Amino acid sequence: MDKTETITRPSPSKLEVNTLEPYWMPFTGNRHFKRNPRLLASAAGMYYTSDDGRKILDGCAGLWCVNAGHGRREITEAIQRQASELDYAPSFQMGHPLAFELAARLTATLPGDLDHVFYCNSGSEAVDTALKIALAYHQAKGDFRRTRLIGRERAYHGVGFGGISVGGITYNRRAYAAALLPQVDHLPHTHDLAKNAFSRGQPGHGAHFADALEQLCALHGADTIAAVIVEPVAGSTGVLVPPQGYLEKLRQICDKHGILLIFDEVITGFGRLGAPFAAEYFGVLPDLMSVAKGLTNAAVPMGAVFARKPVYDAFMQGPENAIELFHGYTYSGHPLACAAALATLEIHRREGLAERAKSIAGYWEDAIHSLKDARHVIDLRNLGIIGAIELAPRPGQPGARAFETFLECFGRGLLIRVTGDTIALSPPLIVEKAEIDRMAETIRAVLATVS
Ligand SMILES: Cc1ncc(COP(=O)(O)O)c(C=O)c1O
């Protein structure tokens, strides 16, 4: 701001409420959007309603988060009750009952000895929290050399500096390269179109990609590595399903060298794969797990990190009144978020949403792979209730074909998500077969019209 500029009252035109201009939208082409706005006014079950009254089938559970479907009355009422009873309670040196109740309920559903919960407000915060816990864990054990973090190419771990440092999406890192965390290295991604195109479920080829961790151990010294973080299924970079045996191998190598393994389950948690968590689906237990999104069915922002007992126990030393971990958020364990999460867990339990996802996953797989002969399609991938349709990029215009497909699908009443030239689908777990059919039919028809 010019130093001579004084703050004046906004002019009447600035108070105009019907303008789209002041909102700087995230991960959006602002100028394009504001010329062609797509506004969602309400939602129920599997559908959004746009501001012009059209019903939009939700093919992505919002942003991979509304796993139980939209507008769940139990969640809304729990939030309303909680807001009128206790709007906020500080989370430093204080607590409120729901935060403890939720932690107890969550840990009862978690695999193995993942038995402690640290609250935050988003997936990005959950990732940064997990990375900080991993670094501090080794310090707490007196192992001061373990300061290195290993991420993966094509990984998405949110937008905090920790997350983009271990993440592997060039555009998300480029402008901030000067401020990325030091001492970070990356595993190769596992996407191998030449060998694995059109795999159903986990591809058979590629467990060897995990061997790169041994090479990084040799390069840096295994005893300098604090943690490895991976998404069990990479979502935001176009749904990369782990090859058979890959995650198991990562776990073995981490165990061999005393390295913590972090699963970022922000999208795979809460039933998405047909099991409560990917850790169970794959039978691989991480030391730390980051979650968000489906935790509250997205009705109130919330994230969390789950920690195994030895990790938590390592911090519980020294004087009892000393703070063990110098980390936390004003809204850690916010009462409204806890109420929403408890109501969400109850819906999952009562409706068996993970089992439902499992039972419909075969139908989903068939529907995704029915698009093999659709125009532009060069690969199809699926796991649980996740699907990916990779398109050949238009020469010289990467992403353009998929973006036009997204716009046209929206025009025809279907919300899909595109990343690069891949369409990613992840509907609420309450999706019916007829809705799955409609998604496949709409996408096929749109691809036939997109150049
Ligand atoms: C695996 C993963 N980690 C972290 C995040 C970031 O979550 P948030 O947008 O809530 O910060 C995402 C978001 O899509 C994600 O998919």
Residue 132 sits in the same domain as residue 208 = yes
Q: Convert the pLDDT of each residue in 90-141 to its tens digit.
A: 999 999 999 999 999 999 999 999 999 999 999 999 999 999 999 999 999 9
Is 27 inside any structural domain?
A: yes
Picking from 307, 333, 351, the residue at the C-terminal end of a domain is 351
Number of domains in the chain: 2
- pLDDT of amino acid 5: 52
User: Could you give the angle at the alpha carbon of 313 between the alpha carbons of 311 and 314, nearest 5°?
Assistant: 70
Using the mean position of ligand 1's atoms as its centre, give its distance from the Cα of residue 68 in Å.
Answer: 18
Which range marks the domain in which residue 428 is found?
12-59+353-449
Domain of residue 111, CATH code: 3.40.640.10
Q: Are residues 198 and 343 in the same domain?
A: yes
The answer to whether 414 and 439 are in contact (CB under 8 A) is yes
Q: Judge whether 17 lies within some domain.
A: yes
- Chain centre distance of CA 305: 13
- Ligand 1 centroid from CA 287, angstroms: 19
pLDDT of 1 strictly over 90: no
**Residue finishing a domain among 351, 381, 414:** 351
- From the list 77, 42, 126, the residue with the least C-alpha distance to 344 is 77
The verdict on 102 and 185 lying in the same domain is yes
Taking 70 as the threshold, does the pLDDT of residue 9 lie above it? Answer: no
pLDDT confidence tier of residue 451, bands split at 50, 70 and 90: very high
Instruction: Assess whether 429 and 324 both reside in one domain.
Output: no
User: Does residue 121's CB lie within 6 angstroms of at least one atom of ligand 1?
Assistant: no
- In this prediction, residues 284-312 reach a mean pLDDT of 98
Q: Is the domain of 345 the same as that of 358?
A: no
pLDDT at 15 exceeding the cut of 80: no
Q: Is residue 5 part of a domain?
A: no
Give the pLDDT confidence of 283-297 residue by residue, as tens digits.
999 999 999 999 999
Kindly give the distance from the C-alpha atom of residue 10 to the centroid of ligand 1, in angstroms, as a whole number.
36
Which atom of ligand 1 is found nearest the CA of 64?
14
Same domain, 195 and 49: no
Which of 289, 324, 351 terminates a domain? The answer is 351
In angstroms, the CA 305 to CA 258 distance is: 20
107, 166: one domain: yes
Q: Would you call 235 helix, strand, or coil by DSSP?
A: coil
Mean pLDDT, the chain, whole residue set: 96
Least confident of 168-172, 407-411, 435-439: 168-172
Same domain assignment for residues 40 and 185: no
The residue whose CB lies within 8 Å of the most ligand 1 atoms, and thus the one to mutate among 263, 266, 300, 418, is: 266
309 and 367 assigned to the same domain: no
Report the atom number in ligand 1 closest to the C-alpha of 158: 6
Q: Judge whether 366 lies within some domain.
A: yes
Whether the per-residue pLDDT at 12 is higher than 90: the answer is no
Report which ligand 1 atom has the smallest distance to the Cα of 265.
1
Torsion of CA 50, 53, 58, 59, to 10 degrees: -90
Name the DSSP class of 84. Answer: H
Do 99 and 202 lie in one domain? The reply is yes
Single out the residue of 103, 420, 134 nearest to residue 263, CA to CA.
Answer: 134
How much is the pLDDT for 220?
Answer: 98
Q: Do 330 and 406 fall into the same domain?
A: no
Mean pLDDT of the region 9-21? 63
In a domain, 139, yes or no: yes
Shared domain check, 369 and 319: no
The whole-number pLDDT of residue 73 equals: 98
CATH number of the domain that 363 lies in? 3.90.1150.10
> Which pLDDT score, from 0 to 100, does residue 8 have?
59
> pLDDT per residue over 24-72, tens digit each?
999 999 999 999 999 999 999 999 999 999 999 999 999 999 999 999 9
- Collapsing DSSP to helix, strand or coil, 435 comes out as helix
